[in-house]
């Protein structure tokens, strides 16, 4: 009897804490990631270099490796994507010193090489679209999935001002629907790029996978008649 009561209590405690965790969680918007979409990855790279690399590094990534994966020549990479470095074989480091960053933002901006795997792409997509005006904050903004975030809304000129209502819904203040969907596409390209740098060899794996399947399919037509020939006399 004691055991059963204990078990029931345990069950209640477990399920209630579980539902608490679920309700405390913000609903994430889903984003479709497509690493074979080179144009999207190129646009994402451009946004990343322009808006993010001034504070965040991506130290596991080299410019020339990225160029090759995204279908760009070294010259193209140097001309349109390199602002923080001068050698195409360099990794994506950042000029800001950690000590200064700490002074300016209170926290050092983390390296973004594997952020897509740490946070997930849906989280990133929601986060970068989740800034809203908050007069209580020094930066003037807050974020729906990262409360009291120390990062300013660096893309505010692209998105415009956003207000949060009492139901936690976000509303663009002046933006028309085109601006909203353009901003969503821009963030999608950026998150696509972040997914790519988190796992750069995935592009090759996906490409290789097609050939492996084709090989297996063709091999079937060799293996099956062989099998038939071998077993002919056994039956
Ligand atoms: C002005 C400097 C600055 C720029 C530019 C900047 N960030 Fe940040 N970012 C920060 C700081 C500081 C933090 C740490 C915030 C905190 O922990 O409160 C941060 C945190 C983040 C995080 C959360 C990391 C975590 O803890 O999981 C992500 C994701 C991120 N930035 C992505 C971006 C992207 C993408 C861009 C380009 C669009 C960008 N950042 C541009 C300063 C910057």
Residue having the nearest C-alpha atom to atom 1 of ligand 1 = 55
- Closest to 55 in 3D by CA, of 88, 92, 11, 96: 96
Of 46, 109, 186, best ligand 1 pocket probe by most atoms within 8 Å of the beta carbon: 109
pLDDT band at residue 10 under the 50/70/90 scheme:
low
Q: ∠ CA(182), CA(187), CA(188), 5° rounding?
A: 95
Residue having the nearest C-alpha atom to atom 37 of ligand 1 = 52
Summarised one tens digit per residue, pLDDT across range 45-92 is: 999 999 999 999 999 999 999 999 999 999 999 998 998 777 999 999
Model pLDDT, residue 22: 43
Cα torsion for 170, 173, 175, 181, to the nearest 10°? 0
Q: Kindly report which listed range (60-69, 117-126, 145-154, 165-174) carries the lowest average pLDDT score.
A: 165-174
* Ligand 1 cavity residues, CB under 6 Å: 51-52, 54-56, 105, 107, 109-110, 112, 115, 119, 124, 127, 149-152, 154-155, 190
Q: Kindly report which listed range (36-40, 98-102, 202-206, 213-217) carries the lowest average pLDDT score.
A: 202-206
Domain boundaries, the chain: 31-199, 201-235
What are the distances in angstroms from CA 110 to CA 1, 102, 137, 146, 197? 53, 11, 21, 14, 15
Residue holding tokens 């997509």?
A: 125
Model pLDDT, residue 21: 42
Whole-model pTM: value is 0.82
According to CATH, the topology of domain 31-199 is Cytochrome Bc1 Complex; Chain D, domain 2 (1.10.760)
Residues 163 and 133: beta-carbon distance below 8 Å = yes
Residue holding tokens 């069950």?
A: 11
Q: Cα of 50 to ligand 1 centre, how many Å?
A: 14
């Amino acid at each position: 009897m004691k055991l059963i009561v204990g078990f029931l209590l345990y069950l209640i405690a477990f399920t209630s804490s579980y539902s608490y965790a679920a309700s405390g969680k913000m609903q994430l918007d889903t984003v479709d990631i497509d690493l074979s979409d080179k144009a999207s990855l190129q646009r994402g790279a451009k946004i990343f270099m322009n808006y993010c690399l001034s504070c965040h590094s991506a130290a596991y990534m080299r410019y020339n490796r990225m160029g090759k994966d995204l279908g760009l020549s070294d010259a193209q990479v140097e001309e349109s994507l390199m602002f923080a470095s001068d050698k195409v074989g360099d990794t994506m480091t950042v000029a800001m010193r950690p000590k200064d960053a700490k002074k300016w933002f209170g926290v050092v901006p983390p390296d973004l090489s594997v952020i897509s795997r740490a946070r997930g792409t849906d989280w990133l997509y929601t986060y970068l679209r989740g800034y809203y005006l908050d007069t209580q904050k020094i930066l003037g903004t807050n974020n729906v999935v990262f409360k009291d975030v120390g990062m300013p809304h660096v893309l505010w000129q692209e998105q415009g001002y956003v207000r949060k209502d009492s139901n936690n819904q976000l509303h663009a203040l002046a933006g028309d629907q085109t601006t909203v969907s353009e901003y969503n596409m821009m963030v999608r390209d950026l998150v696509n790029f972040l997914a790519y740098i988190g796992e750069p060899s995935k592009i090759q794996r996906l490409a290789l996978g097609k050939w492996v399947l084709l090989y297996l399919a063709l091999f079937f037509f060799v293996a099956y008649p062989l099998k038939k020939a071998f077993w002919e006399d056994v039956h």
